[in-house]
Amino acid sequence: MRYLIPTLMLIWSACGPATEEQGVTDPAERPVALPGPVIAPDGAPFRITAAPEASQFPEASLRLADLELTDDMEADFTMTVDGFELGSSTPDAAVRGCANSEDGQHIHVILNNKPYLAKYEPTFSAPVDPGRNVLLAFLSRSYHESLKQGSSFVVKEFDVPSDSASSTSILDGQHMFYSRPKGDYTNSSGDKVLLDFFLVGTSLAADANRVRATIDGHSFILTEWRAYFIEGLEVGEHTVRLELIDRDGALVPGPFNDSGIRTFKLLEG
């Protein structure tokens, strides 16, 4: 049995700044960007650099065309993707220096702040929880770096029938969603580990909201929404925690603004 989601459920998207680049050039014709400044704290056994500009897709857009609930605690999603080819390798993947999906570009699907699911087709199913659910879906380059323009993501809240169902929106306000790192990495996939997150309803600045990143117990502040690289990690398990904080260092209210401790592994290979 399937249940159509009522059309009055909230779908929210925000417009971001437009880019002047009108296409994607062959990576062989592009200069290799130098790594950004080191921003990790002194004494840390690793370093964080601002990732150079990635391949741009100014016409890319993502839209939720349909959502149906099934009777086995799953939802069927149908997305519309324009200006972005799912399944193809991002042009600069070979020179990015980080893990890259052999299956190509995809959609990151984050449900209820759980680790993302990578979807390579616009139609897919995913497990949902009883009560209020929040979906964030955004277009991802083949090396898992999010497109951050306003048309490249969808965020939607919807209810799954249960005794705890609520009609109160939790999307009002400012939110940060954790994306990467995730899973296992090998040295053979590149010497950089991508650090990436997604903002909804807010931006970052030195004197406004910021992100406090804590990696293996070492904390530092991010004041720009972009991708970062973690470099120099030793083989083994590592921890990451991201928190959206205000100018005074207090956690910004919201259900997703503290990622909690996430773990990933760096393996020999």
Average pLDDT over residues 230-253: 95
Give me the half-sphere count of Cα atoms (radius 13 Å) on the Cβ side of residue 159. Answer: 15
Q: What is the pLDDT of residues 178-224, one digit of tens each?
A: 999 999 998 766 679 999 999 999 999 999 999 999 999 999 999 99
Sorting pLDDT into bands at 50, 70 and 90, what band is 78?
very high
pTM of the shown model = 0.85
For residue 226, give both structure tokens.
Answer: 């972009």
Q: What is the pLDDT of residues 94-148, one digit of tens each?
A: 999 999 999 999 999 999 999 999 999 999 999 999 999 999 999 999 999 999 9
Average pLDDT over residues 232-248: 95
Q: What is d(CA 11, CA 200) in angstroms, rounded to the nearest whole number?
A: 12
For residue 38, give both structure tokens.
Answer: 């080191």
Backbone angles phi and psi of 212, in degrees to 5: -95, 120
Only one residue has tokens 């990436």, namely: 196
Domains of the chain: 35-267 (2.60.40.10)
First-to-last CA distance in the chain?
Answer: 47
Long-range contacts of 6-11 (CB under 8 A, 24+ apart): 9/156, 9/157, 9/158, 9/159, 10/156, 10/157, 10/169, 10/171, 11/64, 11/154, 11/155, 11/156
Give me the half-sphere count of Cα atoms (radius 13 Å) on the Cβ side of residue 21. Answer: 12
Q: What is d(CA 258, CA 240) in angstroms, rounded to the nearest whole number?
A: 11
